[in-house]
Amino acid sequence: MTSIMAAGLALGLSAIVSTATVNHATRIDHQSGPVDVRYRGAVQISHKQVGAVTPGGRPSTLGCQWKADMIVAREAKAASGTMLTRNFVREGVASGNRTGWCSTHHASIANHVARQTSDLDRHMISVAKEDHEVLRAELDRVHGAVSAG
């Protein structure tokens, strides 16, 4: 069993665990009329086991590297009734390292990320603002708008 674990460590096995969700609603103006937009972000934490267990008397290099990404789903309903959806990822909303086996830290890492709700809310608002130009361009294509210039 030790050789299987060592082989897994050498490969840098990783796992993904879902945790917190974040929601944001807003309205943007478009020449076709107001657009109601809802964003839903699901945070996914990936864990990567690194290092190795060493024989007694030697310091262990075993560690867990983790990263949280936000998977975002956008639903926008235009005044015309047109529904536009988009899914995208905001990578690296949180990250860190823990000493030891990843399996012993899954819950504490998830709790750490969940306690950062205000940071996640800020990430979601930032994601929404970045998406507004993409959404306006999609609306322009759907409604056949021609840009001035």
Give the helix ranges, DSSP H, for 15-100. Answer: none
Residue 22 or residue 117, greater confidence: 22
pLDDT reading at 118 higher than 90: no
Amino acid at 101: W
pLDDT of residue 87: 96
pLDDT band at 128 (very low <50, low <70, confident <90, very high): very high
Going from the C-alpha of 112 to that of each of 19, 98, 135, 149, the distances in angstroms are 10, 12, 33, 49
The share of the chain scoring above pLDDT 70, in percent, equals 84
pLDDT in tens, 20-49: 788 999 999 998 899 999 999 999 999 999
Question: What pLDDT, on a 0 to 100 scale, did the predictor assign at position 5?
Answer: 35
Q: Give the separation between CA 22 and CA 113, rounded to whole angstroms.
A: 12
For residue 41, what are its two tokens?
């972000």
